[in-house]
């Protein structure tokens, strides 16, 4: 199929729920992807944070191929060597005490499991989530997601999920009642605009949950696996949740979600009370084992901290140069640059010049590049962005249409 045929087929035959950009990506390696015409792009989206190890990392490719030759599927009703190996590796890197996992296929599913766990373990119905949060779009996860454009068409959502203002311990305390099972929160809000909590907030939340005897559940789907410069974002503040949701990069690009919890909490789910047919699929677990090896061997969390500090400092320089940039924020290689207006044009113009960047809400340009991105690639991406910002700024100050 040629480029236009591919676009036509997807538009015609795939649910029109994605805001598509007109590029057909057919190949990737490291922090680069190529379109069907061979044009190269620096991928600062990392496939929405999935390609954290880089595209088609050779060790992931090898692990997938080897396992595919041996065994592709094995229901979790039977035991499997790769699943066992992955569980050992996963629980060897998760924060202390989080040592029992439910394996699923996506971020939303990892949140679904957390919500069920909270209700089952505590026997209470209410979950407190945060205004601005994003936890996915299946009905349970959607109920914890904040944005009304995602929620309103599908009401009624599941009951007893209430939202509190972010970063406000007083409001959190007020919201807790005898019906509350848990607080669910992203340690750093991703979709909500790359918002880092003030120091002391998550520690205070931990203390509050302990005092009120409710669970603290971290959604680290976007922040986990080295993205923020630590293996898990909660490590920045030395706070260990009771339940943690993981997905996106966990299997080097294959679909894998994991809800990891304290043993006593996970054991409250009894046989048949939760499952998915693909749970702990051998190929996905083989990729997951390789992904954890690569993450540790290549010291990617440390690399995210180092390169993230560099990228952030350079974005701050852009902020100084361009009045349309309001703020730069984030941790590690999870960074956001807030503009004074909608960023769609910036995304499209950068793409036309060979750099893929994401949005986070309407006004924030988001960077979730593979942690293997080179400094040189970062510099190239920054230089494109600098030009695009300049152009956009000039167009706005001259009153010309900004496209």
Half-sphere exposure of 284 (CA within 13 A, CB side): 23
- Of 90 and 389, the one with the shorter C-beta distance to ligand PLP is 90
Residues with Cβ within 8 Å of 182's Cβ and at least 6 positions away in sequence, in order, are 114, 118, 122, 127, 128, 209, 214, 215, 216, 217, 242, 243
> Which of the following is catalytic: 43, 167, 219, 242?
219
The site that binds ligand PLP (CB under 6 A) totals a number of residues, namely 15
Taking CB under 6 A as the criterion, the residue among 86, 102, 134, 367 binding ligand PLP is: 134
Taking CB under 6 A as the criterion, the residue among 33, 108, 260, 304 binding ligand PLP is: 108
| DSSP at 158 | -
Active site residue 179: no
Interacting positions 143-202 with ligand PLP (CB under 6 A): 186, 190-191
Query: Smallest Cα–Cα separation from 243: which of 234, 252, 251?
Result: 234
Taking CB under 6 A as the criterion, the residue among 95, 107, 140, 204 binding ligand PLP is: 107
Q: How far is the CB of 374 from ligand PLP (least distance, A)?
A: 25
- Of 221 and 378, the one with the shorter C-beta distance to ligand PLP is 221
- Of 111 and 355, the one with the shorter C-beta distance to ligand PLP is 111
**Which two structure tokens, joined as six digits, stand for 398?**
């001259």
Q: How far is the CB of 358 from ligand PLP (least distance, A)?
A: 10
Interacting positions 191-250 with ligand PLP (CB under 6 A): 191, 219, 221-222, 247
Can you say whether residue 263 is alpha, beta or left, with left for phi > 0 and alpha for psi between -120 and 50 degrees?
alpha
Q: How far is the CB of 39 from ligand PLP (least distance, A)?
A: 27
Q: How far is the CB of 206 from ligand PLP (least distance, A)?
A: 19
What is the rounded CA–CA span in Å between residue 79 and residue 74?
8
What is the rounded CA–CA span in Å between residue 187 and residue 209?
15
Taking CB under 6 A as the criterion, the residue among 57, 135, 312, 322 binding ligand PLP is: 135
- Of 111 and 378, the one with the shorter C-beta distance to ligand PLP is 111
User: Tokens 């293996």, residue?
Assistant: 231
Active site residue 248: yes
Taking CB under 6 A as the criterion, the residue among 30, 95, 136, 253 binding ligand PLP is: 136
Q: How far is the CB of 195 from ligand PLP (least distance, A)?
A: 12
Window of 6-14, 52-60, 130-138, 381-389 that interacts with ligand PLP by CB under 6 A? 130-138
Half-sphere exposure of 211 (CA within 13 A, CB side): 11
Other beta carbons within 10 Å of 15: 5
Window of 56-64, 103-111, 167-175, 334-342 that interacts with ligand PLP by CB under 6 A? 103-111
Taking CB under 6 A as the criterion, the residue among 45, 67, 106, 143 binding ligand PLP is: 106
- Determine, following the binding rule CB under 6 A, whether residue 104 of this chain makes contact with ligand PLP: no
Name all contacts of 119-122 with Cβ < 8 Å and 24+ positions apart: 119/181, 120/268, 120/269, 120/273, 121/181, 121/215, 121/264, 121/265, 121/268, 122/181, 122/182, 122/214, 122/215
What is the rounded CA–CA span in Å between residue 227 and residue 249?
9
Which residue minimizes CB distance to ligand PLP?
A: 107
- Of 136 and 330, the one with the shorter C-beta distance to ligand PLP is 136
Active site residue 134: yes
What is the rounded CA–CA span in Å between residue 358 and residue 190?
11
Contact pattern from residue 10 through residue 49 relative to ligand PLP, giving x for each residue in contact according to CB under 6 A and a dash for the rest? --------------------------------------x-
Q: How far is the CB of 247 from ligand PLP (least distance, A)?
A: 5
Return the SS3 of 30: strand
The DSSP annotation for 178-245 comes to TTEEEEEE-SSBSTTT-BPPPTTHHHHHHHHHHHHT-EEEEE-TTTTTTTTSSSSGGGGGT---SEEE
Angle at 281 between CA 275 and CA 284, to 5 degrees: 125
Catalytic residues: 134, 219, 248
- Which residues lie near ligand PLP (CB under 6 A)? 48, 106-108, 111, 134-136, 186, 190-191, 219, 221-222, 247
């Amino acid at each position: 199929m040629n480029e236009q045929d591919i676009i036509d087929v997807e538009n015609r035959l795939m649910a029109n729920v994605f805001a598509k950009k007109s590029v057909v990506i057919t190949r990737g390696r490291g922090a680069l992807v190529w379109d069907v015409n061979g044009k190269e792009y620096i991928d600062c989206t990392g496939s929405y944070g999935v390609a954290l190890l880089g595209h088609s990392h050779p060790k992931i490719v090898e692990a997938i191929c080897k396992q595919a030759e041996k065994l592709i599927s094995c229901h979790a009703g039977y035991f499997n060597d790769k699943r066992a190996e992955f569980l050992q590796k996963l629980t060897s890197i998760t924060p202390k005490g989080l040592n029992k996992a439910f394996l699923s296929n996506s971020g939303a599913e990892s949140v679904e499991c957390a919500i069920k766990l909270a209700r089952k373990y505590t026997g209470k119905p209410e979950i407190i989530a945060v205004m601005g949060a994003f936890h996915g779009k299946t009905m349970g996860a959607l109920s914890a997601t904040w944005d009304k454009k995602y929620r309103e068409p599908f009401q009624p959502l599941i009951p007893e999920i209430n939202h509190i203002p972010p970063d406000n311990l007083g409001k959190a305390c007020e919201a807790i009642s005898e019906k509350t099972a848990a607080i669910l929160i992203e340690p750093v809000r991703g979709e909500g605009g790359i918002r880092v909590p003030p120091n002391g907030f998550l520690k205070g939340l931990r203390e509050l949950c302990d005092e009120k005897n409710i669970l603290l559940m971290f959604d680290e789907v976007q922040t986990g696996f080295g993205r923020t410069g630590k293996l898990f974002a909660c490590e920045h503040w030395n706070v260990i949740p009771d339940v943690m949701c993981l997905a996106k990069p966990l299997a080097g690009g294959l679909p894998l979600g994991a809800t990891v919890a304290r043993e006593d909490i996970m054991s409250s789910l009894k046989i048949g009370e939760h499952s998915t047919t693909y749970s702990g699929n051998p190929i996905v677990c083989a990729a997951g084992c390789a992904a954890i090896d690569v993450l540790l061997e290549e010291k990617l969390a440390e690399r995210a901290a180092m390169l993230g500090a560099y990228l952030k400092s350079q974005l701050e320089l852009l902020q100084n140069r361009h009045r349309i940039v309001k703020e730069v924020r984030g941790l590690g290689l999870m960074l956001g640059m807030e503009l004074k207006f909608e960023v769609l044009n910036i995304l499209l113009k950068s793409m036309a010049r060979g750099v893929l960047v994401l949005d986070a809400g309407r006004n924030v340009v988001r960077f979730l590049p593979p942690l293997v991105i080179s400094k040189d690639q970062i510099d190239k991406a920054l230089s494109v962005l600098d030009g695009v910002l300049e152009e956009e700024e000039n167009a706005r100050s001259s009153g010309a249409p900004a496209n």
